[in-house]
Amino acid sequence: MGKIQSETLAILNANSDFYTAFAAGCAKSMQTLWSRDENITCIHPGWPPLRGQDDVISSWQCILSATPPMVAFSKATVHIHGNVGYVVCCEHLEPGMLIATNIFINEDNAWKMVHHQASIVPLNCDNDILNEIDEFDGPRTLQ
Amino acid sequence: MGKIQSETLAILNANSDFYTAFAAGCAKSMQTLWSRDENITCIHPGWPPLRGQDDVISSWQCILSATPPMVAFSKATVHIHGNVGYVVCCEHLEPGMLIATNIFINEDNAWKMVHHQASIVPLNCDNDILNEIDEFDGPRTLQ
C-alpha cells in the first residue's frame, strides 16, 4: 500500500473514530481524538464558533452528556495536502441530515482533529438536493 | 515581518478577496481565487455538498447572477499548517449571520481556496450565542 493510500485510510479511521465517540457518548474518546493544539475550532449547528481546548472540549462534554444520539456518517471524501487532511461527509442524525467538514493534522504520526463544522440540510429540501447528495462519492482519496 | 505574519496576511487577503468577489457579484474574480485542484469542495447553506471545478464554479455563477448581496465578513481567525491555511469567520448577509470555514492551499506562492462551508446562525438564537460570537477574536494568527 502506498503512502497516500495508507494516510487516506488513517484519516478515514480518525474520522470514523470521531463518529464512534459521538454515537457512544464517550467524552474521553472524543477528547483524545482532538489535537492538543490550543486553537482547535468547532462549529456546531446553531452554535457560535468555538475556539480553544476549554470551549471545544466542554461543548462536546455537554452534548455527549445527553442521551447518545443515533449518528453515523457516509459519503466521506478525504483530501490530503501534506500534514493536513480534511474530510467532507454527510452526518446522519435523528431526525435529519447534516454536512460536515472535519480537518485533521498529523500530530506525532497520528491524525488529530483541529476543526469541525456541521450544518443542517433543511428537512424540506427538494429531491434534487437529495439526489446530488446521493451522487457525492465516498470514500476516496482526493489530493 | 516574519514569514508566519506575511503568510497570515496573505491568507487574510485571499479570504477578503473571496468576500469582495461575492459582494461584487463577479464570477470571474470568484473563479480566479479558487484552486485549480480538480477536487475543490463547497457547501452552501441548504445545498448538497459540491465537488469539482464544474459543480463548484457553476454554483457560484448561479449565486452571483442574482443581485449582488450585501455581504461582509468579520472575526476572521487564520490557522496555518504548512502549505494549508484555513479561516473561520462570520459572514454578514441580509438578513442574517453565517459562520464559515474557508480552506486555502499555497499554489504557486498564492493562497487559493479549496473548500468553503457556510452555515446559518439561527435568527432566534439567544443573547449568549451573540455574546460568544462577539467574543470570538479576529483577525489573528493561530498555528
Selected for mutation to probe chain A from B58, B91, B99, B114 (highest A CB count within 10 Å) is: B99
Q: Rounded distance, CA A139 to CA A15, Å?
A: 11
In B, which residues are within 8 Å of A123 by CB distance? none
CATH number of the CATH domain containing A20: 3.10.450.50
* Interface contact flag, B88 A51, Cβ < 8 Å: yes
**Domains of chain A: total:** 1
> Nearest C-alpha of chain B: how many angstroms from A54?
14
**Backbone conformation region of residue A100, classed left if phi is above 0, alpha if psi is from -120 to 50, else beta:** beta
Looking at per-residue pLDDT, the higher value among B95 and B112 belongs to: B112
Q: Which of A38, A79, A105 sits opposite B39 (nearest CB)?
A: A79
> Nearest C-alpha of chain B: how many angstroms from A84?
7
For residue range B57-103, list pLDDT tens digits in order.
Answer: 999 999 999 887 789 999 999 999 999 999 999 999 877 889 999 99
Q: Rounded distance, CA B43 to CA A129, Å?
A: 12
Residues of chain A contacting B, Cβ within 8 Å = 37-39, 41, 43, 45-51, 75, 77, 79, 81-84, 86, 88, 90, 99, 101, 103, 105, 114-115, 117-122, 125, 129-130, 132-133, 136-137, 142-143
Boundaries of domain holding B22? 3-142
- Residue A112, pLDDT above cutoff 90: yes
CA-to-CA dists, residue A41 to A59, A114, B71, angstroms: 11, 6, 23
* Interface contact flag, A46 B121, Cβ < 8 Å: yes
Given a contact cutoff of 8 angstroms between Cβ atoms, the answer to whether B71 and B130 are in contact is no
- The residue among A107, A87, A109 whose CA lies nearest residue A18 is A87
Q: Is the peptide bond before A95 cis (omega within 30 degrees of 0)?
A: yes
Looking at per-residue pLDDT, the higher value among A46 and B19 belongs to: B19
> Angle at Cα A86 formed by Cα A84 and Cα A92, nearest 5°?
155
Q: Rounded distance, CA A140 to CA A118, Å?
A: 20
Q: Rounded distance, CA B34 to CA B14, Å?
A: 10
In B, which residues are within 8 Å of A107 by CB distance? none
Looking at per-residue pLDDT, the higher value among A131 and A101 belongs to: A101
- Residue A2, pLDDT above cutoff 90: no
- Residue A137, pLDDT above cutoff 80: no
pTM of the model: 0.88
Confidence tier at B124 by pLDDT (50, 70, 90): low
* Interface contact flag, B121 A90, Cβ < 8 Å: no
Q: Rounded distance, CA A84 to CA B75, Å?
A: 23
Say how many Å lie between the first and final Cα of chain A, rounded: 16
Q: Which of A83, A119, A143 sits opposite B81 (nearest CB)?
A: A83
ipTM of the complex: 0.86
In A, which residues are within 8 Å of B74 by CB distance? none
